[in-house]
Chain A
Amino acid sequence: MNNDLFGFEINIWLDAAARMGLITGVMTVVVMGLIYIERKIIARFQMRLGPTRTGPMGLMQSLADALKLVGKEDLRPAGADPWVFELAVYFVFVPVFMMFVAIPFALNWEVRVLELGLFYVVAVSSINIVGLVMAGWASDNRYAMIGGLRAAAQAISYEIPLVLALLAVAMVAGSLNLTEIVAGQGRVPLIVWQPLAFAIFYIAMLAEMGRTPFDIAVGESETAGGPHIEYSGIRWSMFFLAEYAALFLLCLIASAVFLGGWAWPLGEDLGRGWQFALTAIKTGLLIFSVFWVRVTMPRLRIDQLMSFSWKVLLPLSFVQILVNGLVLVYDWPDLLLLATGGAGVVLLFVVIDRGVRRPRPRPAPLAAAESEAVA
């Protein structure tokens, strides 16, 4: 355990509290920044200006929004289940922040080095589904209920390829400790050896966050906000905070696990400033790509979304693990990983392309309901 965060030894509990406090405070600012940046970026994509009036270049917009949201009345529908309704927010909010414990921002700059860091992150990240289902169920609103159930179905389905993709990387990296995984990528980032795993992780990550094209739970044009529909003011903003924190966090994990985090390409020798900068750049690029996807992609339908996970991503991730196992056990050359992974990515795109262009008969109502049963 490294306790040199502040440059001197302090009580371990105080230290932990200080670290958590720091994370929570920083994250809130980061999320506000992210919302501002997203609005600006999306505005650029859409030939708009985005926020301009609040502060210089609209920089204070997020702060103003936050203040407004805090000031709004905290409504609860008369028919809602009060406890579940109010607790749901925390089930979404807390796990996301718990995930930050294991994330390495730079060498020796994490809340705690966990030997099973990757495992921990994956385990904690799936708790927030409970929160969404609670919110959907307790709101006494059918849109919320449909949204909550959709969120649950989607998250459970995409959790598996997500975990398997990370597992494949962990096999190659030979560790579940995030710090070690990052440190091991000093020369070559793992995306080179595991392009397919990265592709699967990226897609599953979008689904986990409920971002376009997988935003069926909250999609405005269908469920009009889904589980969030009845929330207002501070509770609603906490959902939002959790959503953006999850975005930041999953992109951080992707940059750490696949893109070499702070280690690649400059190695461990450079100062903390460079390491932070590297992490920030890689994470930033990923976040930007998520925004990019958001503004250009339509939304998938629930059956397409489910079958894509179960019929495409899941088999491919199993194949990836199998290949990794064979390569590792028989000590085949690493290039084979690159070749198979690359072939896998090509296959993935071919499947997507084929899948949508194949003429499909109109689903008979009953048959359609059958595939729904998986959900």
Chain B
Amino acid sequence: MTTELAREHEYETQDIMLNMGPQHPSTHGVFRMVLTIDGEVVRDVVPYVGYLHRGAEKLCETMDYRQGIGFMDRTEYLAAFNAELSYVQAVEQVAGLEVPDRAQWIRMILCELNRLSSHFMFTGAFGTDVGVFGTAFTFSFRERENVQDLFEEVTGDRMMYAYFRPGGLAWEVTDNFEQRVHEVLASSRQGISDMDGLLSDNEIFLARTKNIGIISAEEAIEWGMSGPSLRASGVPMDIRKDEPYLKYGEVDFDVVTGETGDVFDRFRCRLDEMRQSVRIIEQCLQRLEPGPILPDRMPRMLRVPPGEAYVRTEAPRGEYGVYLVSEGGNRPYRLKIRSACLSNLQALRDMVIGNYIADAVIILGSIDIVLGEVDR
């Protein structure tokens, strides 16, 4: 199969093209990559995205500010709260709205819970990529379901929450919110250690993930990676710490970093990050006090003065940025969504080449893409 072997024996060998996706069990949606393979070894990979492009940016320009919230949910559908947060914060920034404390704490709780549910989705899907027959998936989904139930109680929807508003929240949370969050945290803690027990110490899992798909810190920064995928390479870049928004400056948590930047570190980082999220939520619950959830005088129709802001928040997959340009009026002049997955995905080629087909699958899984966010 190798060229040397072929030359020695005068075989003729040929690389073959393997089209993976957009309909393939492990491309996490409608992602497509064309692999050039020599036997089992990947020589080249060409990623294709755009199958889920719905023109969210263009649509937002034609809708008023409140309608835009719904589109954010539909881009990053696994962490919709974090997506909404970037958007409403951008609007608040340009419009000069002050958000009441209670709304900020609730936003933080929901965003961190969303990080939990999103990372549970990752651990489950990643387990399946590595080849565990559904067990990681069901264990993860048990926990994700708990979080999702809580979201449903609060917002009335399981995925497309549309709950944050420029200035605060759409409505007050349920009466037993704090108790429910405590319950969810208890089960999530169990779920995290379950995933640890199921995967982290498994010999085959280690053999599959260690030293695979390494990307160095410099390369990761160069490619504009962010979130756990970047931190796994040892770069302690976390917007929650570096440029605190909401009340992240007032809570205590650690930025989890990896060492080598391989697939295992990316898995490990996410798992540890979930523990930090639990820590953050606990602190938020202690600080949560009754109060208003919207500024006193909110106009019925939000009109935003001219101005621009690029607001970035730390979503589960990395930096979710919203670049909002307003020329006055009730709708954005230009709205650009900076997708963490799109930038992370760019680095895929560097990570995959030279590895096996099976590795390509888990490397893609370890970046944890959401195609809704990539294609927008």
Contact = CB atoms under 8 A, between A and B. Distances in A.
Interface in B14-55: 16-19, 24-26, 38-41, 43
Given A368-B41, A369-B41, A372-B1, A363 B355 contact: yes
Interface string B190-211: 0000000011001111111011
Interface in B171-201: 198-199
A212 B358 CA distance: 14
Contacts of B358: 216, 219, 222, 299, 301-302
A298 B24 contact: no
Contact of B25 (A142, A221, A353, A375): A221
B354 A299 contact: no
A360 B210 contact: yes
A369 B210 CA distance: 19
B295 to A, nearest CB: 45
A352 interface: yes
Contact of A359 (B38, B139, B203, B210): B210
A150 B1 CA distance: 14
B7 interface: no
Contacts of A357: 206
Contact of A46 (B1, B134, B359): B134
A46 B16 CA distance: 38
B131 A298 contact: yes
Interface in B206-257: 206-208, 210-212, 214
Interface residues of A, number: 48
A365 interface: yes
A295 interface: yes
A119 B20 CA distance: 42
Interface string A18-58: 00000000000000000000000010011110000000000
A270 to B, nearest CB: 38
Nearest to B37: A146
B24 to A, nearest CB: 6
Contact of B214 (A213, A301, A362): A362
A46 B208 CA distance: 23
Given A365-B41, A372-B41, A146 B134 contact: no
A146 B1 contact: no
Contacts of A370: 2, 4-5
Contacts of A213: 131, 204
B130 interface: yes
Contacts of A224: 24-25
Q: How large is the interface on B (under 10, 10 to 19, 20 to 34, 35 or more residues)?
A: 35 or more
Contacts of B370: none
A369 B1 contact: yes
Contacts of B43: 365
Interface string A45-80: 111100000000000000000000000000000000
B39 A369 contact: yes
Given A295-B132, A298-B132, A353 B203 contact: yes
Interface centre among B19, B127, B361 (most CB of A within 10 A): B361
B135 A296 contact: yes
B128 interface: yes
A101 B28 CA distance: 46
Contacts of A303: 40, 356
Contact of B207 (A220, A355, A363): A355
A298 B354 contact: no
A375 B40 contact: yes
A48 B138 contact: yes
A221 B361 contact: yes
B311 interface: no
Given A46-B134, A298-B204, A222 B353 contact: no
B357 A146 contact: yes
A294 B199 CA distance: 14
Contact of B133 (A42, A368, A372): A42
A288 to B, nearest CB: 15
B138 A47 contact: yes
B142 interface: yes
Interface string A242-281: 0000000000000000000000000000000000000000
A298 B138 contact: no
A1 interface: no
Given A222-B358, A303-B40, 9 more contacts: A142-B17, A215-B131, A219-B358, A299-B130, A300-B208, A365-B353, A366-B2, A370-B4, A373-B1
28 contacts: A42-B133, A45-B135, A46-B134, A142-B18, A146-B18, A216-B358, A220-B26, A224-B24, A298-B127, A298-B202, A300-B131, A300-B207, A301-B358, A301-B359, A302-B358, A304-B208, A356-B206, A356-B210, A360-B211, A362-B354, A363-B354, A363-B355, A366-B2, A366-B4, A369-B2, A369-B38, A372-B1, A375-B39
Interface of B: 1-2, 4-5, 16-19, 24-26, 38-41, 43, 127-135, 137-139, 142, 198-199, 202-208, 210-212, 214, 353-359, 361
Interface of A: 42, 45-48, 142-143, 146, 150, 212-213, 215-216, 219-222, 224, 294-304, 352-353, 355-357, 359-366, 368-370, 372-373, 375
Nearest 5 interchain pairs by C-beta: A299-B131, A365-B354, A46-B138, A221-B26, A298-B130
